[in-house]
Chains A and B, each alone.
Chain A
Amino acid sequence: MSGRRPATWDQAADDYDYLFKVVLVGDSGVGKSNLLSRFTRNAFSLDSKSTIGVEFATRTIQVDGKTIKAQIWDTAGQERYRAITSAYYRGAAGALLVYDVTRADTFESAARWLRELRDHADGRGAAVMLVGNKTDLARSGSRSRHHHPRAVPRGDAAALAEREGLSFVETSALDATNVDAAFETLLTEIYRAVSRKALAASSAGDDAGAVGEGQAIQVSASDSAGLTTRCCAF
């Protein structure tokens, strides 16, 4: 997936083919905000503030020659904040479910987050990726301040992902390992799912790009060849 470029505030509103809403969820302190800043601004801060409520950023990437804009919502991880943040899962095309590989409790919460997502987001239609963050802390001789033993074996997380039908990757926001790959894999998965639905709908003789009723992802394509297909996952 070459030709990636971050979205800028000056970018024209129409400068994309698809717009996908993605949410970052997971326990407090697992690194959601730094994953977001690493992906959207290529920035990382050891001294970041805890997220209060929600934060928001965007980035545009290329998938199969199409321009995909990701609108990413970073949510506060503390249980109490779900009263506010769960509203942001609604209509999400995808989610990164983040845990910290050095804290088993954050992995144990994954099932609860998954339930929460499936209750509030696009049912089982939303693509979910399980992300084990902070691999730098679990590596000896790492650049980070402190070394922590790995608490979540990679195999356990892979097994959960397999069982629940999730993608899975381990990342380090600190040294940027697999961060782009995580978001790009998720966005590609969403795009391909949307394309399949659009194709199925058009071959069934419906309007090109129509999606089944009740779906959060609405794809509407112009019937004239060459006009832009727009998808807004809201």
Chain B
Amino acid sequence: MDKKKGTDGTEPGPAPSRAVDRFGFIKPEQGNSPDGIPKGKSIHEREREERRIRKWRKMIGVGGNDWKHYVRRNPHVVKRRIRKGIPDCLRGLVWQLISGSRDLLLMNPGVYETLVIYETSASELEIIRDISRTFPSHIFFQQRHGPGQRSLYNILKAYSVYDRDVGYVQGMGFLAGLLLLYMSEEDAFWLLVALLKGAVHAPMEGLYQAGLPLVQQYLSQFEKLVIELMPKLGQHFVEEMINPSMYASQWFITVFSYSFPFHLTLRVWDVFLYEGIKVVFQVGLALLRLCHDDLVKLPFEKLLYALRNFPEEATDPDVLLPLAFSFKVSSRLEELQKEYQKRQEGTSETSSGERLQPLVSKTMSRVGSRVVSNLTTADRK
């Protein structure tokens, strides 16, 4: 199921009192629509979009059967097409294919249902309180106890049982909520597992573990990259006492799903699921580069405001993403990770950015999971 819920009429929900954009978000009463897309598409644009969809359908095959074969034969074509953006009607299915979550789902029949129905979580009250504070302006999540809120609760509760060490952390809801707009509850759960446990890329669970070790590592790496790649801005940040935790924590914790225009978030996620966490660094650097000349002139308060409110032209994916991909950061990130981990040695905090952690958590053995770790591969460069 790869349609967006709440916009296709299949899920009951409240009649929206205000107009919604094409993604299901309530439009602000004034100004441009937040999806950044002109209202009507020309015939030429529609035809081009249909051609794209046909190409993609051919590439993935019925139900995704041809996907792995195509990726093996034409990896560069796949990468290029993903960077251009996955057609919205196929997004849910393609996300499952590129994240490895499809395999997890097939290898673990009935596990999700067990987690939702038969297990209890220490985080249940916390999750309930946060449900209405996750994508509050999206019609799918607005109805109190409605289908959107119920599904979001189920996924977050299930994950908090699946991995009791991580449990539930604010921010996870934005990942799960985004996934729910494009796939079923169970599919979204396994994609969340694939991300946090590292089915294809480095595990992300360290973003949410006690001490947020991976957040700290990524912020440290990002700070160094800014200084190296934009020394003038890096120096300005030092002088104004701006550190990345003031503006970039949300970028990493929610992979740009917290406060960025949704059309940009989706394009970032297309690439992030295929290429890994380096994309968050690249997009962050591109945002700073695009606004560089303004940022270097601003004093502390205005600077902080600007770093949380990027102008519309800077968040246009067709401008931002090509610039992001021009930053070649993979090998430097690995070096910075090693340096960071060396600095951390001897302290009680250990980094959780290890590549080949087993996918199965201790708690999962109780529910008979057959999650296997042979899906793990090195990050694509």
Chain A residues engaging chain B, CB cutoff 8 angstroms: 9, 13, 28-29, 47-54, 56, 58, 71, 76, 78, 80-81, 83-84, 87, 234
User: Which residue in chain A gives the minimum CB-CB distance to B208?
Assistant: A80
Residues of chain B from 96 to 155 with CB closer than 8 A to chain A in the complex = 126, 129-130, 132-137, 142
Residue with the greatest number of chain B CB neighbours at <10 A, chosen from A48, A52, A71, A76: A52
Known A-B contacts A81-B212, A83-B216; A56 and B137 likewise in contact (beta carbons under 8 Å): no
**Secondary structure of the A contact surface, majority rule:** loop
Known A-B contacts A9-B302, A9-B305, A47-B136; A54 and B258 likewise in contact (beta carbons under 8 Å): no
**Inter-chain pairs besides A49-B134, A78-B170, 10 sampled, C-beta below 8 Å:** A9-B302, A28-B170, A47-B136, A49-B133, A50-B134, A52-B174, A71-B301, A80-B169, A80-B208, A80-B210
User: B133 near A50 (CB under 8 angstroms)?
Assistant: yes
A residues near B241, Cβ cutoff 8 Å:
234
Known A-B contacts A28-B170, A80-B208; A47 and B249 likewise in contact (beta carbons under 8 Å): no
Known A-B contacts A28-B170, A54-B249, A76-B170; A83 and B211 likewise in contact (beta carbons under 8 Å): yes
Instruction: Tell me how many residues of B have a C-beta within 8 Å of chain A.
Output: 36
A44 to B206 Cα, complex, angstroms: 34
> 7 closest A-B pairs (Cβ-Cβ)?
A53-B249, A47-B136, A50-B133, A83-B212, A83-B211, A52-B250, A29-B129
User: B253 near A28 (CB under 8 angstroms)?
Assistant: no
User: B134 near A53 (CB under 8 angstroms)?
Assistant: no
Minimum C-beta distance from A25 to chain B (A): 15
User: B136 near A84 (CB under 8 angstroms)?
Assistant: no
A residues near B211, Cβ cutoff 8 Å:
83
What would 15 A/B residue contacts be, using CB atoms closer than 8 Å? A9-B302, A9-B305, A29-B129, A47-B136, A48-B136, A49-B134, A50-B130, A50-B173, A52-B253, A56-B246, A78-B126, A83-B210, A83-B215, A83-B216, A84-B245
**B304 in the interface, Cβ–Cβ < 8 Å?**
yes
Residue with the greatest number of chain B CB neighbours at <10 A, chosen from A54, A80, A84: A80
User: B208 near A28 (CB under 8 angstroms)?
Assistant: no
User: B170 near A50 (CB under 8 angstroms)?
Assistant: yes
**B317 in the interface, Cβ–Cβ < 8 Å?**
no
**B61 in the interface, Cβ–Cβ < 8 Å?**
no
User: B304 near A56 (CB under 8 angstroms)?
Assistant: yes
User: Which residue in chain B gives the minimum CB-CB distance to A45?
Assistant: B136
**B369 in the interface, Cβ–Cβ < 8 Å?**
no
**B254 in the interface, Cβ–Cβ < 8 Å?**
yes
Minimum C-beta distance from B194 to chain A (A): 22
- Out of A28, A48, A49, A84, name the residue touching B129 (CB < 8 Å): A28
User: A47 near B132 (CB under 8 angstroms)?
Assistant: yes
User: A47 near B258 (CB under 8 angstroms)?
Assistant: no
Minimum C-beta distance from B56 to chain A (A): 33
User: A58 near B258 (CB under 8 angstroms)?
Assistant: no
User: Which residue in chain B gives the minimum CB-CB distance to A77?
Assistant: B170
A residues near B258, Cβ cutoff 8 Å:
49, 52
A52 to B357 Cα, complex, angstroms: 26
**B6 in the interface, Cβ–Cβ < 8 Å?**
no
**B171 in the interface, Cβ–Cβ < 8 Å?**
yes
A residues near B304, Cβ cutoff 8 Å:
56
User: Which residue in chain B gives the minimum CB-CB distance to A234?
Assistant: B241
A7 to B246 Cα, complex, angstroms: 20
User: B170 near A81 (CB under 8 angstroms)?
Assistant: yes
User: Which residue in chain A gives the minimum CB-CB distance to B248?
Assistant: A53
User: Which residue in chain A gives the minimum CB-CB distance to B210?
Assistant: A80
B residues near A47, Cβ cutoff 8 Å:
132-133, 136-137, 142
